[in-house]
Amino acid sequence: MDDSGGWHKIEGDMIPGSRRPSDPVPRVRRPLIVVSNREPYLHARSPDGQIRWSKTPGGVSVALDALMRERGGIWIAHGAGPADREVVDARDRIKVPPDGPRYTLRRIWLSAEEERRYYGGFANEGLWPLCHVAHVRPTFRATDWAAYQRVNARFAEAIVDELADPTTPVFIHDYHLALVAAELRARVPRVRTALFWHIPWPHADRLRICPWRKEIVRALLANDLLTFQLERDRRNFVWAARDELGAVVDGRVLRLGDHVTRVTAEPIGVDFDRIMGIATDEGLEAEMHRLRRELQIGTPIVGVGVDRLDYTKGIPERLEALDALLSERADLRQLVTFVQIGVPSRSKLASYQEIERTIDRMVADINRRHRTPDGHEPIRYRKSALKLRRLVALFRLADFCIVSSLHDGMNLVAKEFVAAREDLDGVLVLSELAGAAQELTDAVIINPYDIDGFAKAINRAIDMPRNQRRDRMQAMRKLVAGKDVFNWASEILEELEKHGAVSYPGAARLRQANGPAPGERH
Ligand code: F6P
């Protein structure tokens, strides 16, 4: 971390043509309030009775934690760890990271029933399949909706409790918390909020499935700034706001009643410097050896896939493509090991139990059918999360990495893989249906519904000449380095700071009288 008083200097030119050391990247340093369902750290008792903490895996959590370590402030989230209550103070707060505190985590407690209806039900059986075209039917229940409303109000109350200064920027995350800004603004009219919607926003025909779409769209418009991953999601939302509620659209500015919301698109990035730091660490080589031994990798070619076990990730399609390739090119059976890391997720829901069973079955079947006479099986399947350091080591072992989402807001695994490859090697095989494909056009782009084309693409990745691998990786690294998680956050928070002050109720009338705020583009 730098201490250069609000400006972050990039030391050294890591990628030719990317950020130059002389180009300081401005980083706003005001403390923040971040609000998300998932907490960055959780506490649990280990078998010896000691309370131990762990970091929540996953790109989004890692990215936001990086931002909070740099900015400081308060992160409000659901306390889901079994020993979470035992370590907080009287105000349900704890300083984190536990091994070197930089900011405060404020935990919110949910009953098992609330968790089942708000998180499992409305957010993950309703909104998640609504927003992802992955052929899982969204299920909406009035009881889940009621719990979702109640829990969102609870998050808003906790923000009020922490908001000593009403101008502190409040940065809300994702589809679990769509109603928070409206609840919050009803209590603190001048609050400044930005919400980042991490997942896709559905097209109008699909959105209509949701019985409470109008309420959700209206509540999202209570934010000062609403940001999506892609321009396509942004457009879909703008249509919804206009068609469902009659919001007035003026470029990026939407007006509903006397409230003004800026609606933008800003793809999320990764903590490139941190991943680079691990990738260039002397100890990484030893970690790679350990991993190779543990996973019993003896082949010259290694592929990887790292995903939450989610039906949107296209894991069965990936396995089908590998199967097709190994059937077509029997010579590869003793040359390739594919490591699939599957992190169990939302396991109480039937749709997740089913995808897990499907993947288990497919891996066993493929390993049985393609086993070589000397006992080598092509797929190593591990169902647990990896710490960032091990993840980077795994990425560095790989000749290719597959991201084959059927639909994905962004997919940070794709960007993490690129960030880890400071050796300028490795091929990314990337679904055109993941948001990351909009930026990482130098990946080998696949369509997970076209199994033959997918298999051919993996073959191409395996056979790709060194100079082509280097050129493609270099181009992708330039992109991922140039737009990291800090740049992403700065874009959003600077936009909020610039325009937030004029968007409280009554501001529109004021602005009609006084003309647009300075710097506002219409
Ligand atoms: O990418 C969408 C997202 O909801 C993230 O916000 C979250 O970190 C991730 O999926 C994991 O989901 P969950 O919090 O349900 O484990």
Q: What are phi and psi of 62, to 5 degrees?
A: -65, -40
Please tell me the predicted confidence (pLDDT) of residue 29.
66
Cα–Cα distance for residue pair 155/488, rounded to 1 Å: 24
Please tell me the predicted confidence (pLDDT) of residue 15.
33
Cα–Cα distance for residue pair 136/314, rounded to 1 Å: 13
Position in ligand 1 atom list of the atom nearest CA 119? 15
Element (H, E) at 381: strand 379-382
Query: What's the distance, CA 80 to chain centroid?
Result: 19
Tokens 């457009």 locate to: 235
Tally of CA atoms within 13 A in the half-sphere of 337 that contains its CB: 19
Any ligand 1 atom below 6 A from CB of 346: yes
Signed CA dihedral, 268, 273, 276, 277: sign only = negative
Q: Where are the beta strands (DSSP E) in 128-214?
A: 170-173, 193-197
The answer for residues whose C-beta is within 8 angstroms of residue 235's C-beta and 6 or more apart is none
Cα–Cα distance for residue pair 191/114, rounded to 1 Å: 27
Asked whether the beta carbons of 428 and 417 are under 8 A apart, the reply is yes
> Which residue's CA is the nearest one to ligand 1's atom 14?
38
Tally of CA atoms within 13 A in the half-sphere of 437 that contains its CB: 20
- For ligand 1, mutation pick of 39, 41, 42, 60 (most atoms within 8 Å of CB): 60
- For ligand 1, mutation pick of 34, 36, 38 (most atoms within 8 Å of CB): 38
Position in ligand 1 atom list of the atom nearest CA 176? 4
Kindly report the three-state secondary structure assignment for every residue of 295-314: CCCCCCEEEEEEEECCCCCC
Cα–Cα distance for residue pair 422/406, rounded to 1 Å: 28
CA-CA distances (angstroms) from residue 432 to 26, 206, 390, 408?
A: 32, 20, 27, 10
pTM of the full structure: 0.91
> Which residue's CA is the nearest one to ligand 1's atom 8?
60
Which of 476, 437, 491 minimizes the C-alpha distance to 17? 476
Q: Find the 297 Cα to ligand 1 centroid distance in Å.
A: 30
Signed CA dihedral, 133, 406, 424, 466: sign only = negative
Cα–Cα distance for residue pair 414/421, rounded to 1 Å: 11
Q: Find the 475 Cα to ligand 1 centroid distance in Å.
A: 28
Any ligand 1 atom below 6 A from CB of 15: no
Tally of CA atoms within 13 A in the half-sphere of 211 that contains its CB: 10
CA-CA distances (angstroms) from residue 248 to 99, 197, 257, 265?
A: 49, 21, 9, 19
C-beta neighbour count of 186 within 10 angstroms: 12
Please tell me the predicted confidence (pLDDT) of residue 97.
97
Please tell me the predicted confidence (pLDDT) of residue 378.
98
Cα–Cα distance for residue pair 396/416, rounded to 1 Å: 11
- The single-letter code of the amino acid at 443 is A
Take residue 490 and report the two structure tokens written for it.
């700065």
Any ligand 1 atom below 6 A from CB of 78: no
Q: Find the 110 Cα to ligand 1 centroid distance in Å.
A: 17
Asked whether the beta carbons of 430 and 414 are under 8 A apart, the reply is yes
Q: Find the 511 Cα to ligand 1 centroid distance in Å.
A: 38
Element (H, E) at 161: helix 142-162
Cα–Cα distance for residue pair 342/440, rounded to 1 Å: 23
Mean pLDDT by 10 residues, the chain (522 residues): 25 31 47 96 97 88 89 97 98 97 98 98 98 98 98 98 94 98 97 98 98 98 98 98 98 96 97 96 97 98 98 98 98 98 97 98 98 97 95 98 98 98 98 98 98 98 98 98 95 90 43 37 30
Please tell me the predicted confidence (pLDDT) of residue 501.
52
Any ligand 1 atom below 6 A from CB of 61: yes
Asked whether the beta carbons of 419 and 377 are under 8 A apart, the reply is no
Is the link from the previous residue into 97 a cis peptide, with omega within 30 of 0? Answer: yes
End-to-end, the C-alpha distance of the chain in Å comes to 37
Q: Find the 60 Cα to ligand 1 centroid distance in Å.
A: 7
Q: Find the 71 Cα to ligand 1 centroid distance in Å.
A: 22
What SS3 class is residue 40? coil
Asked whether the beta carbons of 40 and 67 are under 8 A apart, the reply is no
Which of 121, 124, 115 minimizes the C-alpha distance to 199? 124
Any ligand 1 atom below 6 A from CB of 38: yes
Any ligand 1 atom below 6 A from CB of 72: no
